Structures are given as C-alpha cells and as structure tokens.
Amino acid sequence: MGRMHTNRIYLFVALLLLTIFAVAACAPNPRAQLISPDMVPEVKGQAFVPPTPTPLPDINNLSEEEIYAGLPADVVALLPGDPAHGEQLATSAGCVGCHRLDDSNTVVAPSWGGVAHQAVTRVAGESPALYFYQSITEPNAYVVNGYNSGIMPQNYNDILSPQDIVDIVSYMLTQRGQ
C-alpha cells in the first residue's frame, strides 16, 4: 500500500513538472521582435526613405559604338573578332582554370556568368570592350573588388596575338546571362 502511494507521488510530481515545462514553453519570448520588419522605422521623427536601388548594368541597352568605344585604332581594325575562336582560347590559354562560366566558384577569380554586364560599369568612362581588352593585356590596371592583383597571368600580351585577344574579348562580350 505504502509503495503504491509513493508511486502516485512520483507520478504526480512528474505530471506537475511536465505541466510547468509546457506552460514555460508557451510563454512569449521577451526578446522576440514585436515590430514587423516591414514596419517603417522612424529616424529622428522622420520617416525612413529607402535608397533608390541602382539598376544593374545591362549591356543590351548599349549600341555597338558604345560597346567598342575607346579601343585603339589597331585593335578596331581587328574587329569584330571570332567569339567561337575566343571560346577555344579561353580553354587553351587557361582562363577557365580560374574563371568559371557560372557562379559555382568565385573564390579564385570573378565568374564570367554575366560578366559582359559587369564590364559596362567596372571602370568609369571605359566601354565594356575596352575594359575586357585592358583586363587581359594589363590585368593590374584595374583589380576587381575582393580579389588580389598579380594572380591573373601578366603575360597574355606576349603569348597571345592581338587578334587572339580581340577574339577572346568578342567571346566575353557574349557572356550576358545573369
């Protein structure tokens, strides 16, 4: 009889603890954010005005002249270039060893997925074709944010012909997926 009684006390205590935990679990979290994230925060009594987002560059909005602007005359003479040959060179010259065509790996070098759009605004006043040409012939002239200079081979100007470089540029101008 005494043992039955003790068992009941244990059962009661266990149920009591369970109830306490259940109630505690339902209590509101005092640190929970009660303000919904889309409620406009007030800054010194003034309504917060979100900054106008800068539209992404789009090479498709540029004319041919704008795409090739600023290239030296001897390079212009080699236009329009052969993008299919440029694509082969991107493999044989080792570009795709560092640059991916999608965003699967951007650790070593910036990806070429949509790079034609990026080229529109990389350097103020430089057309995308000029930017690509310079990126290959003088890689350290402009270093993409988040990357180090001196990683990209510096000797493409010596090992590739001017026509090869123009062909690679014309291939890179086709990288418009985004």
Residues that bind ligand HEC (CB under 6 A): 93-95, 97-99, 108-110, 115, 118, 122, 132, 135-136, 139, 143-144, 147, 149, 151-153, 156, 168
**Cα(7)–Cα(14) distance, integer angstroms:** 11
Q: Output the smallest distance, CB 53 to ligand HEC, in A.
A: 20
Q: Output the smallest distance, CB 63 to ligand HEC, in A.
A: 21
Reported in sequence order, the residue ranges of the chain that DSSP labels E, i.e. its strands, are 42-43, 46-47
**Cα(22)–Cα(18) distance, integer angstroms:** 6
Q: Output the smallest distance, CB 128 to ligand HEC, in A.
A: 10
Q: Output the smallest distance, CB 91 to ligand HEC, in A.
A: 9
**Cα(82)–Cα(30) distance, integer angstroms:** 65
Closer residue to ligand HEC (CB): 94 or 177:
94
**Cα(169)–Cα(70) distance, integer angstroms:** 14
Closer residue to ligand HEC (CB): 75 or 136:
136
**Cα(39)–Cα(27) distance, integer angstroms:** 24
